[in-house]
Amino acid sequence: MKSRAIAVLFVLAACVVFVSPAWATKYVALGDSYSSGTGTRTYYDGTCQRSVYAYPYLLHNAHPSWTFVQAACSGAKTGDLINTQAPSLTSDTNWVSYTIGGNDAGFSSVITTCAYPSWASDCNGAIDKAQAYITNTLPGRLDLVNNTIKSRSPSARVIVLDYPRLFNGEDCNAGTWFSPSEETRLNQTADMIRSVEQAAATRAGANFLFRDVIPPFIGHAVCDGGSGSSTEWINGLSNPVGESYHPKITGHANGYYPVLHAVTG
Tell me the β-bridge partners of 96: 28, 158
From 33, 35, 51, 244, the catalytic residue? 33
Q: Do 50 and 37 contact (CB within 8 A), yes or no?
A: yes
User: Residue 77 contacts by C-beta under 8 Å, 6 or more apart in sequence?
Assistant: 32, 100, 103, 104
Q: Are 113 and 122 in contact (CB under 8 A)?
A: yes
Q: What b/e string do you get for 71-110 counting C-beta neighbours within 10 Å, with b at 16 or more?
A: bbbbebbbebbbeebbebbeeebbbbbbbbbbbbbbbbeb
Q: Report residue 228 CA to chain centroid gap.
A: 23
Q: Are strands 26-31 and 67-70 parallel, antiparallel or unpaired?
A: parallel
> How far is it, in rounded angstroms, from Cα 257 to Cα 253?
5
User: How far apart (Å, rounded) are the C-alpha atoms in residues 109 and 127?
Assistant: 10
Catalytic residue flag (residue 246):
yes
Helix, strand, coil shares of the chain, percent, nearest 5, are 50, 10, 40
Catalytic residue among 60, 97, 220, 246: 246
Closest to 56 measured CA to CA, from 263, 260, 265: 260
Please tell me what DSSP assigns to residue 159.
Answer: E
* Residues labelled catalytic: 33, 246
